[in-house]
């Protein structure tokens, strides 16, 4: 009897061991979800190389793979003004599992939309040779690249809108990476999944960014060894010149000083500007001088390479007082102008191309046998209808502007100009904040950076003078004062408020 029980226990143990072995084998052989072959979507997103199968809408299904790396190609704070195209130049959040590797540190970035201006233009791991092929500028460039983007791994790339990710894939492929292992997932701006990590914090009206918590790969260029290609590019500075010996400006007005570094192809074009007396004149890093108080000061430019200098004398005089104007009550005109925004009309129809699967489902596109997309008559009709509505909106805006000029009205016009875009601070946006807080109505147009709105250009306002400013005050139908983003140094909303208070009553 005891032998029988022992035998049964032995058999039971063997069965358990066998089952456990099967389970362990199954676990060891488990494979992650099979990946579809990279395939570019259609429409405007396809031009950036965004994948039609693995993108913002589906990436949650492919997170956490051991055979993959996840890279977000944005900068923590990009100099390019992505707000102008509905994006965000700050890394306000990212998808869990992604690590941030700023593309502008890897290679020179070109071909951005005109509306966003220029991005970072400092040191990069790779540059171009005379044949426009990529070359490593440091001896460690390739090893750093292979560490960040392992060739034996699947690589998921994303950024804000999809552009930087597409550039990164093209760059890697040009250097020998397997295109079938790289996916352009698209843009964080369009992500609505469950793995969103917020970096932007808002508390008591104050906005902060928790950049310290971001998994971020910085590159210490000073610790790297310059390559032969970098050395060939390292032309030394021999001199610097300022294009003015003496200038005279009034208080609270500005003047743009320009300096040229010699030779023109010197590798280090960085200069610093200083003022001998900032109580008289202040000068910023771009050479923009602002008159602070009556007196004379010496402005000096100095090169980082070689410490070459040149100077300019500035005399600041007292500014004559200006007459305040009383703005007309134009509530009806304001409403009409706001309601007829051609950019908003076209933006709505352009959103169709943001989600191609949804566009197919709703009948705006069809898929061909190769998996591409073709617009249907429904899409063409929607676009034609939007263009017709936009044209009508432009005509309504023109009527309003012409009426203001003809009836000699007094009002404020805000113009989002290209010059203003390239600056760290937007005078137009500052004016919006100040005027909204004060409850003062204004007309707003961005047709200087819009491909749809032509109302300002085709109206009877003095277009050539208007576009020289970002904030324009009209008195009795004529330009009375203008805040020029290319000449007036505005660093904050308080600066804009001070400027406005010279011409209108504002608290």
What gap in Å lies between CA 351 and CA 338, rounded to an integer?
A: 21
Tell me the pLDDT tens digit for each residue of 244-262.
888 888 887 778 788 888 8
**Which residues, including other chains, have CB under 8 Å from residue 72's CB and lie 6 or more apart?**
91, 94, 95, 98, 99, 100, 101, 158, 159, 188
In a domain? residue 126: yes
As beta bridge partners, residue 271 has: 303
What gap in Å lies between CA 152 and CA 171, rounded to an integer?
A: 17
The last residue of a domain, from among 177, 203, 228: 228
Task: Give me the pLDDT at residue 468, please.
Answer: 76
Claim to verify: residue 139 and residue 118 sit in the same structural domain = yes
Task: Copy the structure tokens of residue 504.
Answer: 């209108």
Residue 455 confidence class, pLDDT cut points 50, 70, 90: confident
- Burial level of 493, CB count in 10 A (0-12/13-18/19+)? middle
In a domain? residue 10: no
For range 406-422, the mean pLDDT? 76
Closest by Cα among 356, 349, 348 to 51: 356
The last residue of a domain, from among 283, 317, 351: 317
Whole domain around residue 258: which residue ranges? 235-317
Task: Give me the pLDDT at residue 463, please.
Answer: 81
In a domain? residue 441: yes
Residue 50 confidence class, pLDDT cut points 50, 70, 90: very high
Claim to verify: residue 150 and residue 276 sit in the same structural domain = no
**99, 197 in Cβ contact below 8 A?**
no
Task: Give me the pLDDT at residue 19, please.
Answer: 42
What's the structural domain count of the chain?
3
Claim to verify: residue 222 and residue 293 sit in the same structural domain = no
Residue 419 confidence class, pLDDT cut points 50, 70, 90: very low
**166, 49 in Cβ contact below 8 A?**
yes
CATH code at position 272: 2.60.40.1080
Residue 11 pLDDT exceeds 50: no
Task: Give me the pLDDT at residue 136, please.
Answer: 95
Least confident of 25-34, 166-175, 344-353, 379-388: 25-34
Sheet of 411-415: strands edge to edge?
A: 443-445, 411-415, 471-475, 478-483
DSSP state of 177: -
Task: Give me the pLDDT at residue 436, please.
Answer: 92
Task: Copy the structure tokens of residue 451.
Answer: 């491909």
For range 296-325, the mean pLDDT? 90
Alpha-helical runs (H) found in 293-376: 331-339, 342-350, 356-361
Claim to verify: residue 392 and residue 279 sit in the same structural domain = no
**185, 51 in Cβ contact below 8 A?**
yes
Claim to verify: residue 312 and residue 247 sit in the same structural domain = yes
Residue 20 pLDDT exceeds 50: no
More confident residue, 400 or 455: 400
Least confident of 13-22, 179-188, 206-215, 393-402: 13-22
Residue 398 pLDDT exceeds 50: yes
Largest Cα span, the chain = 118
Claim to verify: residue 306 and residue 361 sit in the same structural domain = no
Task: Give me the pLDDT at residue 427, please.
Answer: 83
**157, 187 in Cβ contact below 8 A?**
no
Closest by Cα among 65, 92, 344, 347 to 209: 92
User: Percent of the chain having pLDDT more than 70?
Assistant: 88
Residue 420 pLDDT exceeds 50: no
For range 398-413, the mean pLDDT? 94
In a domain? residue 1: no
Least confident of 248-262, 323-337, 396-410: 248-262
Claim to verify: residue 224 and residue 239 sit in the same structural domain = no
Residue 485 confidence class, pLDDT cut points 50, 70, 90: low
Task: Give me the pLDDT at residue 299, please.
Answer: 95
For 370-407, the three-class secondary structure string (H helix, E strand, C coil) is: CCCEEECHHHHHHHHHHHHHHHHHHHHHHHHHHHHHHC
Task: Give me the pLDDT at residue 346, please.
Answer: 86
What gap in Å lies between CA 395 and CA 392, rounded to an integer?
A: 5
Give ∠ CA 172-176-182 in degrees, rounded to 5.
Answer: 50
């Amino acid at each position: 009897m005891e032998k029988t029980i022992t035998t049964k226990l032995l058999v039971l143990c063997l069965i358990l061991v066998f089952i456990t072995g099967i389970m362990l084998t199954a676990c060891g052989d488990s494979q992650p979800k099979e990946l579809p072959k990279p395939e570019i979507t259609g429409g405007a997103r396809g031009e950036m190389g965004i994948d039609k199968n693995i993108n913002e809408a589906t990436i949650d299904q492919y997170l956490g793979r051991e055979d993959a790396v996840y890279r977000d190609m944005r900068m923590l704070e990009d100099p390019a003004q992505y707000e102008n195209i509905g994006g965000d130049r700050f890394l306000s959040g990212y998808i869990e599992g992604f690590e941030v590797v700023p593309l502008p540190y890897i290679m020179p970035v070109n071909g951005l939309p005109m509306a966003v201006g220029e991005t970072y233009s400092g040191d990069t791991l790779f540059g171009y040779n005379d044949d426009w092929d990529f070359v490593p500028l440091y001896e460690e460039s390739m090893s750093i690249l292979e560490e960040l983007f392992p060739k034996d791994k699947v690589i998921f790339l994303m950024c804000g809108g999809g552009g930087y990710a597409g550039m990164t894939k093209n760059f890697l492929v040009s250097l020998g990476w397997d295109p079938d292992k790289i996916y352009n997932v698209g843009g964080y701006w369009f992500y609505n999944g469950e793995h969103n990590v917020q970096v932007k914090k808002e508390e008591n009206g104050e906005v902060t960014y928790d950049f310290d918590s971001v998994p971020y790969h910085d590159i210490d260029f000073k610790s790297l060894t310059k390559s032969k290609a970098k050395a060939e590019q390292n032309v030394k500075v021999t001199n610097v010149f300022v294009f003015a010996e003496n200038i005279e400006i009034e208080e609270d007005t500005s003047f743009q000083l320009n300096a040229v570094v010699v030779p023109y192809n010197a590798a280090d074009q960085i200069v610093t500007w200083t003022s001998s007396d900032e109580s008289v004149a202040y000068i910023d890093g771009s050479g923009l001088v602002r008159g602070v108080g009556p007196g004379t000061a010496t402005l000096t430019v100095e090169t980082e390479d070689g410490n070459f200098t040149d100077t300019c004398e500035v005399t600041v005089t007292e500014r004559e007082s200006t007459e305040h104007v009383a703005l007309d009550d134009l509530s009806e005109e304001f409403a009409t102008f706001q309601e007829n925004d051609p950019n908003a009309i076209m933006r709505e129809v352009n959103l169709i191309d943001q989600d191609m699967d949804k566009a197919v489902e709703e009948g705006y596109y069809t898929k061909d046998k190769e998996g591409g997309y073709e617009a249907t008559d429904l899409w063409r009709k929607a676009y034609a209808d939007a263009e017709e509505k936009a044209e009508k909106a432009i005509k309504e805006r023109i009527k309003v502007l012409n009426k203001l000029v003809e009836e000699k009205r007094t009002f404020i016009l805000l113009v989002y100009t290209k010059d203003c875009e390239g600056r760290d601070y937007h005078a137009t946006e500052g004016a919006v904040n100040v005027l909204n807080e004060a409850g003062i109505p204004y007309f707003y147009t961005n047709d200087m950076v819009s491909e749809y709105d032509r109302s300002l250009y085709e109206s009877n306002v003095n277009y050539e003078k208007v576009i020289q400013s970002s904030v324009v005050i009209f008195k009795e139908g004529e330009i009375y004062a203008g805040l020029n983003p290319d000449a007036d140094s505005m660093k904050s909303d308080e600066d804009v408020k001070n400027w406005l208070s010279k011409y209108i009553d504002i608290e």
